[in-house]
């Protein structure tokens, strides 16, 4: 038997996962693809192939943690028929997808699915393409380069259905498209009842195709593990609320009302994201939490009065929502915790220069060791994110996507970066490959919980691209933290700095000063106004001149001298004034203003 290098790719990935209007859509899209990939990898492993990527460092952990299996599988095997081996893995992946499809159809409310469209679409979602090459003279590096070319060629020659010559020749022409991505026709019947629409979590005019309905209904047990965006945004408020005996008692009453609203499909339970004891970190309020915002409970109450046709159910729901508001009104009106902030953070991380590292690897054993380090990092990510009260959506190799409360976002990002350095970069250094150490660039998007989830994800992607810095000089690229804040009104605020400049520590200092009321709230916005009038006064910018940094420092002093700390009651601390002036001189008024504004946003969720 000859020795072959095998590659199996499963998709679509980005488009399939990004087609999401809710956290459930995104989370289950990632979960489903990872489970399918895990099934294919396991099939190869059971048939004697040795997995290179993902590397199996702990067999038991590999079988249990399907959420960390990447969509591309690399393995080597001694076989006379590599095609049959890969075909078996691809068939196993397709069967796993069909299991999800069957489960979703079983869970769907009766008479809501158009089976003709469903049957046409269910076999046209998952893509599996593969390639293989013989490893000649034990030259692994040459075989891997050859395999990369074959995979690239296979991607360029995917199978396509014949195009319709006219729009009306398309199957089911004229039917509404899925609201998730607008590609496929909706599979839902017309005239769904209000209760059926709530069961499927459908918004006004929302439609779902086959993969969209699978995301909403398949894996109900696993699906309870996802965490809705409102619950992430609410978490700092819940922690502050439950820190007192009064809060615990009132929170227990709120939980009781929300549990009753679950029965009417107005609230979703949150059971998963458990710690080492098996307890959900959101157990204090194990619900989506949207109705704990005053503007949402009022809107839902009005909506129920208009749309629920069953008078008995309408009266029950309206009464429960009134009780919920009565319980929460005193809390909203109190100085602490007050009304919860509806903003949260989406964190995207990606390894830098990993391609160069793998190109420098010589031999399957060394490649497997690098992959093992990446796997160790990825396996630890869900627990790491959980430590910071967030929920990991995906951790495949050096790619991470997570939802995190605002007050934990900086610490979570810094910990991810440090762990990547200590696990993956250290393994690369040990191999002495002669390449630059890989690093981790992290983007954080901060947005409103009610914003379209697809746009929130795009915000995080833009932040990640900003961190990568491909449009910057090479010495300034990669190894950076970037944050983009998108308020519901007003312009976006952008921040970026490389990790060696300690952006995490500096932002944390501004957050602490805001929290302790040392830093005047309006100073950052006055700096921004001055920057617009004076052209930013950034060192080295056109029009700034040689003295631009000094002028920025003087303008910062002038603005701060007009302010007071402690809510306007005391002069600003001289040490703060000096630091204020030095930072303005270093990076200019514009960048400094944005840095302070980002710090102010992060401070909105810091608790005592």
Buried-exposed string 313-324: b where 16+ CB fall within 10 A, e elsewhere: ebebbbebbeeb
- Identify the pLDDT of residue 537: 63
Question: How far is CA 436 from its chain centroid?
Answer: 28
- Residue 62, pLDDT > 70, answer no
- Identify the pLDDT of residue 64: 55
- Identify the pLDDT of residue 464: 97
Query: Which has the closest alpha carbon to 388: 407, 365, 362?
Result: 407
* Higher local confidence (pLDDT), 481 or 105: 481
Phi, psi of 204 (to 5 degrees): -60, 125
- Identify the pLDDT of residue 180: 80
Q: Radius of gyration of the chain from Cα atoms?
A: 27
- CATH number for the domain harbouring residue 44: 3.30.70.2220
Asked if 576 contacts 518 with a C-beta cutoff of 8 angstroms, the reply is: yes
- Residue 224, pLDDT > 50, answer no
Q: Which two tokens stand for residue 551?
A: 């002028």
- Point out the least confidently predicted range of 119-123, 347-351, 394-398: 394-398
How does strand 480-485 pair with strand 439-448?
parallel
| Residue range(s) defining the domain that contains residue 532 | 511-608
Residue 350, strand partner residues: 399, 441
pLDDT level of residue 528 (50, 70, 90 thresholds)? confident
Q: Which two tokens stand for residue 256?
A: 């009781």
Asked if 469 contacts 506 with a C-beta cutoff of 8 angstroms, the reply is: no
> Between 574-587 and 589-603, two packed helices, what is the crossing angle to 10 degrees?
130
Q: Is residue 64 part of a domain?
A: yes
Q: Is residue 553 part of a domain?
A: yes
- Convert the pLDDT of each residue in 262-287 to its tens digit: 999 899 888 778 777 778 899 899 99
* Higher local confidence (pLDDT), 552 or 413: 413
Asked if 237 contacts 145 with a C-beta cutoff of 8 angstroms, the reply is: no
Work out the average pLDDT over 330-354.
Answer: 91
Eight-class DSSP state of 608: -
Residue 185, strand partner residues: 177
Q: Is residue 476 part of a domain?
A: no
The mean of the pLDDT values for the chain is: 85
Q: What is the DSSP string of 195-227?
A: HHHHHTT--TT----HHHHHHHHS-HHHHTT--
Asked if 395 contacts 54 with a C-beta cutoff of 8 angstroms, the reply is: no
- Residue 516, pLDDT > 90, answer no
173, exposed or middle or buried, with CB in 10 Å at 0-12, 13-18, 19+?
A: exposed
196 C-beta neighbours (distance < 10 Å), count: 18
pLDDT level of residue 561 (50, 70, 90 thresholds)? confident
328 C-beta neighbours (distance < 10 Å), count: 22
* Higher local confidence (pLDDT), 215 or 245: 215
Which residues, including other chains, have CB under 8 Å from residue 309's CB and lie 6 or more apart?
A: 194
Eight-class DSSP state of 406: G
pTM of the predicted structure, to 2 decimals: 0.84
What CA–CA distance (Å, rounded) separates 607 from 336? 9
pLDDT level of residue 166 (50, 70, 90 thresholds)? low
Query: Which has the closest alpha carbon to 96: 1, 222, 207, 251?
Result: 222
Sign of the dihedral defined by the CA atoms of residues 237, 239, 243, 245, in that order = positive
Work out the average pLDDT over 186-192.
Answer: 85
- Top-confidence range, 16-25, 472-481, 577-586: 472-481
The Cα-based distances of 106 to 77, 223, 284, 473 in angstroms read: 39, 15, 32, 55
C-alpha dihedral, 446 to 451 to 454 to 457, nearest 10°? 10
Q: Is residue 257 part of a domain?
A: no
| 346: three-class secondary structure by DSSP | strand
- Residue 363, pLDDT > 90, answer no
- Residue 169, pLDDT > 70, answer no
Which residues, including other chains, have CB under 8 Å from residue 78's CB and lie 6 or more apart?
A: 1, 2, 3, 4, 48
pLDDT level of residue 605 (50, 70, 90 thresholds)? low
Q: Give the H/E segment covering residue 150.
A: helix 140-155
- Residue 26, pLDDT > 80, answer no
- Residue 343, pLDDT > 90, answer yes
Work out the average pLDDT over 143-164.
Answer: 79
> Between 311-333 and 294-307, two packed helices, what is the crossing angle to 10 degrees?
170
Phi, psi of 87 (to 5 degrees): -65, -35
Eight-class DSSP state of 476: G
Q: Is residue 607 part of a domain?
A: yes
- Point out the least confidently predicted range of 26-40, 161-175, 226-240: 161-175
Query: Which has the closest alpha carbon to 39: 84, 105, 97?
Result: 97
Eight-class DSSP state of 177: B
- Identify the pLDDT of residue 168: 60
Work out the average pLDDT over 202-212.
Answer: 85
Q: Is residue 504 part of a domain?
A: no
Q: Is 7 left (phi over 0), alpha (psi -120 to 50) or beta?
A: beta
Asked if 390 contacts 355 with a C-beta cutoff of 8 angstroms, the reply is: no
What CA–CA distance (Å, rounded) separates 343 from 575? 32
Q: Is residue 551 part of a domain?
A: yes
How does strand 493-498 pair with strand 480-485?
antiparallel
What CA–CA distance (Å, rounded) separates 368 from 51? 8
Q: Count how many domains the chain has.
A: 2
Q: Is residue 501 part of a domain?
A: no
| 53: three-class secondary structure by DSSP | strand
- Going through 397-438 in order, the beta strands assigned E by DSSP cover 399-404
Q: Give the H/E segment covering residue 303.
A: helix 294-307
Which residue reads 């190799």 in tokens?
397
Which residues, including other chains, have CB under 8 Å from residue 584's CB and lie 6 or more apart?
A: 527, 537, 552, 553, 555, 556, 592
Question: How far is CA 469 from its chain centroid?
Answer: 20
| 10: three-class secondary structure by DSSP | strand
Question: How far is CA 253 from its chain centroid?
Answer: 32
- Identify the pLDDT of residue 74: 93
What CA–CA distance (Å, rounded) separates 290 from 240? 17
Determine the Cα angle at 268 with ends 267 and 272, to 5°: 155
């Amino acid at each position: 038997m000859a020795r072959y290098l095998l590659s199996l790719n499963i998709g679509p990935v980005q488009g399939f996962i990004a087609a999401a209007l809710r956290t459930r859509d995104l989370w289950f899209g990632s979960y489903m693809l990872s489970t399918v990939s895990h099934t294919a990898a396991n099939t190869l492993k059971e048939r004697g192939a040795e997995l290179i990527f993902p590397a199996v460092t702990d067999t038991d952990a590999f079988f249990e943690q399907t959420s960390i299996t990447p969509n591309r599988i690399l393995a080597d095997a001694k076989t006379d028929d590599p095609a049959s081996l890969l075909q078996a893995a691809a068939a196993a992946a397709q069967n796993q997808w069909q299991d999800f499809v069957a489960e979703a159809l079983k869970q769907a409310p009766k008479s809501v699915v158009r089976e003709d469209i469903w049957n046409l679409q269910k076999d046209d979602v998952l893509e599996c393409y593969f390639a293989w090459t013989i490893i000649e003279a034990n030259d692994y590096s040459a075989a891997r380069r050859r395999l990369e070319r074959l995979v690239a060629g296979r991607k360029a020659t995917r199978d396509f259905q014949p195009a319709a010559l006219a729009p009306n020749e398309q199957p089911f022409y004229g039917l509404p498209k899925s609201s998730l991505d607008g590609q496929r026709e909706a599979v839902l019947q017309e005239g769904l009842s209000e209760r059926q629409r709530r069961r499927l979590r459908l918004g006004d005019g929302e439609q779902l195709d086959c993969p969209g309905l699978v995301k909403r209904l398949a894996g109900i047990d696993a699906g309870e593990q996802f965490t809705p965006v409102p619950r992430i945004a609410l978490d700092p408020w819940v922690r502050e609320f439950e820190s007192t005996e009064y809060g615990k008692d009132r929170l227990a009453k709120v939980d009781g009302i929300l549990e009753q609203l679950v029965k009417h499909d107005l609230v979703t339970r949150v059971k998963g994201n458990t710690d080492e004891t098996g307890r959900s970190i959101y157990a204090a309020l194990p619900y989506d939490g949207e109705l704990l915002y005053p503007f949402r409970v009022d809107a839902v109450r009005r909506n129920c009065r208009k749309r629920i046709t069953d008078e008995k159910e309408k009266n029950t729901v309206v009464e429960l929502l009134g009780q919920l508001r009565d319980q929460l009104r005193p809390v909203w009106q109190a100085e602490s915790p007050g009304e919860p902030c509806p903003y949260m953070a989406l964190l995207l991380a990606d390894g830098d220069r990993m391609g160069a590292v793998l190109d420098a690897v010589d031999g399957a054993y060394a490649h497997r060791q690098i992959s093992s380090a990446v796997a160790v990092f990825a396996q630890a990510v869900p627990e790491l994110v959980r430590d910071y009260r967030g929920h990991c959506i995906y951790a495949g190799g050096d790619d991470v996507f997570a939802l995190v409360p605002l007050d934990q976002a900086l610490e979570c990002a810094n910990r991810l970066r440090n762990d990547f350095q200590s696990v993956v970069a250290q393994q690369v250094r040990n191999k002495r490959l002669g390449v630059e150490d890989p690093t981790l660039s992290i983007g954080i998007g901060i947005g409103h919980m009610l914003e379209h989830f697809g746009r929130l994800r795009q915000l995080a992607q833009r932040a990640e691209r900003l961190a990568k810095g491909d449009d910057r000089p090479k010495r300034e690229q990669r190894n950076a933290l970037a944050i983009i804040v998108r308020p519901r009104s007003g312009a976006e605020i952008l921040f970026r700095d490389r990790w060696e400049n300690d952006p995490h520590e500096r932002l944390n200092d501004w957050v602490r000063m805001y929290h302790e009321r040392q830093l005047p709230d309006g100073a950052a916005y006055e700096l921004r106004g001055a920057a617009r009038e004076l052209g930013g006064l950034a060192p080295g910018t056109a029009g700034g001149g040689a003295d631009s940094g000094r002028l920025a420092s003087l303008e910062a002093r002038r603005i701060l001298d007009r302010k007071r700390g402690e809510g306007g009651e005391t002069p600003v601390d001289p040490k703060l004034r000096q630091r204020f002036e030095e930072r303005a001189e270093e990076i200019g008024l514009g960048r400094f203003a944005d840095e302070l504004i980002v710090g102010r946003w992060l401070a909105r969720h810091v608790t005592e």
